[in-house]
Each structure stands twice: as C-alpha cells, then as structure tokens.
Amino acid sequence: MISGTLLFVIASYFVMVWAFLWAKRRVFHIPVMVSVIVIDVFFPVYLVLTKDWYRRLIEQEEILSFMIWMHFILVLFLYALYFLQIQTARKLMRGDDVARAEHRNQGKGILIARGLVILSASLLIEPVDQVE
C-alpha cells in the first residue's frame, strides 16, 4: 500500500511537470514552481515532526545505510539546483533572455533530480505492520 505522504509528493511532481511544460504561461508557471520549491524545502521539517527518526536511524542503525546517504545527497543536489534555478529566474524577470536556455536546462535537471529523490524516498518507506 502506498503512503499518503508518497502520494502527495508524486502528485506535486506531476503538477511540477505540468508547470514545466506550460512555461510560457507565466501566470501559472511561476506560482506553481515557487509553491513546489517551498513545499520541498519545508518537507524535511514535516517529516522530522511526524516520523520516529531516532528509532529508525540510531536504534536500527540505518544511518549507516547507503540508501539513506544516497537519498540525502540527492536532496542536497536538488536544493542546489533550486538555488541556481531561482538565480536564473531572477535574470529572466529582469529581461535577460540569454538565461532562458540555462533556466530550461536547469528545469530539466530539477525534474530528473526530483524524480530520483522521490524514487529513493519510496525505497526507504518503512512498511506498516499489517493486522491479520
């Protein structure tokens, strides 16, 4: 069974893809992309407040797991891409059309990186004990 948290991030990913494809409709593109970035930046706060990380990472020693570190590195990479994307978006809003190709390529990178973050997160979901 898929968790509600995973459904939420998958749905937000598809909204992000939609906004990427409709980049010329700035009234739609800009608010959606900003919203998804804000959600992604604050998502770890939500997870820390709602999940038992101490038990999982320390008591079960998953902090030493390759998948945990891979996921963490992918998240940091995604945040770095977000930072660069915001910088080129500011250039575009100032009228620098030279940054358009760079902004689009960064957008493609973000879609790939975010997809990998979601995939790695889905592999780390702890199964819920099912009642028989």
* Amino acid identity, position 43: F
What residues does each domain of the chain span? 4-124
Q: Kindly report, residue by residue over 4-44, the tens digit of the pLDDT.
A: 889 999 999 999 999 999 999 999 999 999 999 999 999 99
pTM of the model: 0.88
Q: Identify whether the C-beta of residue 22 lies closer than 8 Å to the C-beta of residue 28.
A: yes
Q: Identify whether the C-beta of residue 31 lies closer than 8 Å to the C-beta of residue 19.
A: no
Token pair, residue 89, equals: 């978006």
Q: Kindly report, residue by residue over 96-124, the tens digit of the pLDDT.
A: 989 999 999 999 999 999 999 999 999 98
Q: Identify whether the C-beta of residue 82 lies closer than 8 Å to the C-beta of residue 110.
A: yes
Quick check: 2 pLDDT over 80?
no
Dist. CA 20–CA 24, nearest whole Å = 9
pLDDT at 1: 56
